[in-house]
A = this chain, B = another copy of it.
C-alpha cells in the first residue's frame, strides 16, 4: 500500500549531485509547476536510476522550464534483482497495467514480445515507459525498468542469454506449481514469460520445451488473465528467489 508521499518525487534524466543543477524539460515543468503548483523554494525528491534519491529545491519555476538544485542525498542507489518480464501485449489498458506492475514489483527490464497468437499489432514503448516512470515516482523506487523495443518471441528465444533462467506459464498439460519450481531453482538472472491470451503456438511451445533454461509452471487451477498472471508470477519469484525474502 502506498504511503502518502511527504514530498513529490520526480524521475529526471540528468546526473544528480551537490553542485549539479537540473534543468527541467517541458512536460516535467508543466507537471511540477502547472499541476502540482510548486514554486521557488519548494522542496521535492529526485532520482535518476543511478545516483540514489536527492532532496532538491526549486530554484526557478517558469511555465515551460525550470531549474532544481539537489541539496543532499537521502537514499543511496540500490538495484532491483536481475529479473526481466516478457509479455505478449494485450488490450491497451491491460498492457499499461502490466508495465506499471512490473515496475512496482521490481523488474529490471520489460520486453514486449509478439507471438503467433498475439492480438495486439503494436506497442508504444514511450507510453509504457511513461507508465513505468509514474509507478516508480509514486512507489518510491530508485530506478525505472528499461522498456525494450518489441520483438518477435522466437527471435528473443533464439538469442537467449546463456545464464538466464526462464519461468513460463504453460496451460497445455499438468505442470508443477510455480512456487515448487522456484524453491528448487538457483537464484541468479531470471525472466518471467507471460504468453498471449490465445496461448503459445505449437512452434513456440516446441521452441520453449527445447530450452534447458526454460521452466514450465502452473499458476493454479483457474484461468488467469495475462495481467493477473504477470503479477502472480513476479510475486512468487520475488518471494522465493528475489528481495522479498
Contacts and interface: CB of A to CB of B under 8 A. Distances in A.
B224 A179 contact: no
Interface stretch (A13-21, A37-45, A204-212, A214-222): A214-222
A201 interface: no
A194 to B, nearest CB: 6
A224 B3 contact: no
Given A101-B228, A104-B224, A1 B194 contact: yes
Nearest to A197: B2
A220 B238 contact: yes
| Copies of this chain assembled into the complex | 2
Contacts of A223: 1-3, 104, 139-140
Nearest to A140: B223
Interface in A211-245: 218-226, 228-229, 231-232, 235-236, 238-240, 242-245
A225 B139 contact: yes
A224 B177 contact: no
A105 B238 CA distance: 19
A147 interface: no
A110 B240 CA distance: 27
A25 B118 CA distance: 35
A77 B178 CA distance: 26
A225 B199 CA distance: 29
A82 interface: no
A139 B105 CA distance: 24
A106 interface: yes
Given A106-B220, A218-B244, A223-B140, A3 B197 contact: yes
A196 interface: yes
A112 to B, nearest CB: 15
